[in-house]
Amino acid sequence: MKAATMAVVVAMLAGCVNLEGQLRTRAAFDLQCSESQLNVVEFDPWRRGVSGCGKKASYTYSQTSGWIMNTSDAFGVSPAKQ
């Protein structure tokens, strides 16, 4: 029983690491910034903020679509400036 529980925990942690990698890859593309220059802040289990190269964006995780950018600040354009 303990081995099965441990296997589930390890699988879940591996999934979290993979999600973080997917986010970094997506944000590097969106922000035109190398992954090594990105800072990731966790807002809650399904939302993250990413900043780097003078840009920032927020992302929400969808189980069907992966990480989705849900901000307009990524390219220095905020709703107030439009």
Q: Taking the model in full, what pTM does it have?
A: 0.69
Residue showing tokens 């997917």 = 22
From 57, 38, 58, 55, select the one nearest 47 (Cα to Cα).
58
Q: Is the pLDDT of residue 73 over 70?
A: no
Q: What does the pLDDT look like over 1-56, one tens digit per residue?
A: 566 555 444 444 445 558 899 999 999 999 999 999 999 999 999 999 999 999 99
Beta bridge partners of 14: none
Q: Is the pLDDT of residue 79 over 70?
A: no
Q: Backbone phi, then psi, for 18, in 5-degree steps?
A: -65, -40
Q: Is the pLDDT of residue 77 over 50?
A: no
Comparison of pLDDT for 76 and 23, the residue scoring more: 23
